[in-house]
Amino acid sequence: MNFYIHVEVFLANFCLNRFSVAPMLDWTDKHCRYFHRILTKQTLLYTEMVTTGAILFGKGDYLNFNLAEHPLCLQLGGSDPVALAKCAKLAEQRGYNEINLNVGCPSDRVQNGMFGACLMGKADLVARCVSAMQDQVDIPVTVKTRIGIDHLDSYDFLRQFIDTLLPFTNTFIVHARKAWLSGLSPKENREVPPLDYARVYQLKCDYPQLTIALNGGVKTIDEIKHHLQFVDGVMVGREAYQNPLLLTKIDAQIFGIDKPSIDAISAIKALYPYIEQQLTQGAQLNHIMRHTLGIFNGCKGAKQWRRYLSENAHKKGAGIEVVEQALAFIH
């Protein structure tokens, strides 16, 4: 790779990872991502974690997405290099911008499948997985990980993990908490282990050539800007989902795009064509609108908006008129 191509690849990867919305099971589905893309054009969006088994052997189309969702990263769950390589190739052919390997989820279900956070203890296997994927695709292959697992939580352990993967990827999204593989629920693993942002900052200092994005506990624009002084990117999860109006500020304040942001009411109305199209394809209104419930948080009528949608969007035949009636509560 010559110098100029290397610079182009670095800058593209940097821009992709400067700000992203985390992959969240049962939340960041295609309806959620389409809505988030209305709110922000620059943010890198992630799919929910999709297992290799689902893609290769499942009955549904687990790689389906709307072209409007770009830039989009597919997060894969798995530990078989051959299967991961096949899925990565399929994803590239479908048009995904990036592939991410899940080495951070601590749930029992994920561990039983030998993927997620338990893979931190098998760095050589992770390296083979990433290498196999990278050999098959030209798009970036990245790793989302924790700072440690169980009692393997020293900075030296984290560095050894990174060192093992260095030949195969240059981008790590690091959740700044360790994961307990037993004794804590996935929810508790997002809250109980203390955040250690300094360890992620140190990682960037020690590996300046890598793209390091920080994840965990970030809730405000000011916090994002603060972290970006020390790392290349920030990933936000639940705050972006529960208070999606945050995303309307990202393009201007994080990416420096000089363009007016969309307001909440306009964002919902911009969703109308998508709703109508999805309903004709058999989707249910509540499956789409559940991702929008927090858009009016702090506004007068927000409670009534949420209640009306919750009580009516699931009904047979519910359409745009339900959304319009719910909007009437907002002042």
Catalytic residues: 105
Query: DSSP string covering 32-101, please?
Result: HHHHHHHH-SSSEEEPPPEEHHHHHH-SS-TT---GGG-SEEEEEE---HHHHHHHHHHHHHHT-SEEEE
> Given the DSSP bridges, would you call strands 44-46 and 72-77 parallel, antiparallel or unpaired?
parallel
CB distance 214 to 172 below 8 Å? no
User: Is the peptide bond prior to 71 cis by the omega test (within 30 degrees of 0)?
Assistant: yes
Distance of alpha carbon 329 from the chain centroid: 31
Q: What is the DSSP letter of 29?
A: S
Distance CA 176, CA 187 (A): 15
CB distance 179 to 149 below 8 Å? yes
For the four alpha carbons of 242, 35, 170 and 5, in that order, the dihedral sign comes to negative
List, in order, residues 6 or more apart from 154 with CB less than 8 Å away: 148
